[in-house]
Amino acid sequence: MPRDLFKKLLPDRHALAQRWYLHPFRALLHQPAYWTVHRRSVVRAVAIGLFICFIPLPVHFLLAPLLALLWRANLPLALVTVLLMNPLTFAPAYLGAYWLGSQLTGEPLAALHFEPNWQWVDTQLAVVWKPFLLGCLVCGTAAALLGYAMVSLWWRIAVTYRYQRRGVKLRRRNGAIEENSALER
């Protein structure tokens, strides 16, 4: 079941509450709503994390917990989902977002030669910011909706499968009990 998988992957809230850097947030960390592993909490956390992945500013680890607290989502899962955008994936994701934004706005693609300095931000980013931000917004929204739907569907299929297996086990057990009681007569 998905709940068991998520419980194995996510950290223990009591162990995290003992960390020195989380002492100011101890009151929030004791709220069980932010740590429970149920369908609504998990799908909200995945959607939050996937949307925040496409924000092109380095505020992912600030926004994810704030939105998770606001929408009562699973806090550690929202933070873990943000890690999907990492140094190996951010370049293709942001280039894809820029391409999508340029297609939506009708602006031609500009040749980008990235240099990590303020002059590049001032000259190059000023040219591409509209399609880039629009593409990030559309990709983030699409990823959040798709993640929400996929995790929700996966959860429902897993629960349905588990209940069907439970019914089969109960019928087998009841059949074995009836056979034993018939033999005793």
Per-residue confidence (pLDDT) for residue 45, from 0 to 100: 95
How far is 50 from 15, CA to CA, in rounded Å? Answer: 26
Per-residue confidence (pLDDT) for residue 81, from 0 to 100: 92
Residue 65 has pLDDT above 60, yes or no: yes
Identify the band that residue 133 occupies on the pLDDT scale cut at 50, 70 and 90. very high
Residue 82 has pLDDT above 70, yes or no: yes
Residue 142 has pLDDT above 80, yes or no: yes
How far is 5 from 158, CA to CA, in rounded Å? Answer: 11
Q: What is the pLDDT of residues 93-130, one digit of tens each?
A: 988 999 999 999 998 887 777 676 777 767 777 778 89
Residue 31 has pLDDT above 90, yes or no: no
Torsion of CA 99, 103, 108, 110, to 10 degrees: -10
Residue 64 has pLDDT above 80, yes or no: yes
Residue 180 has pLDDT above 80, yes or no: no
Give 105-128 as a DSSP string: HTPPPPP----SSHHHHHHTHHHH
Buried b (16+ CB within 10 A) or exposed e, 120-149: eeeebeeebeebbbbbbbbbbeebbeebbe
Residue 145 has pLDDT above 90, yes or no: yes
Mean pLDDT value across the chain: 82
Residue 28 has pLDDT above 60, yes or no: yes
Identify the band that residue 14 occupies on the pLDDT scale cut at 50, 70 and 90. low
% residues pLDDT > 90 (the chain): 32
CB 112: neighbour CB atoms within 10 A? 14
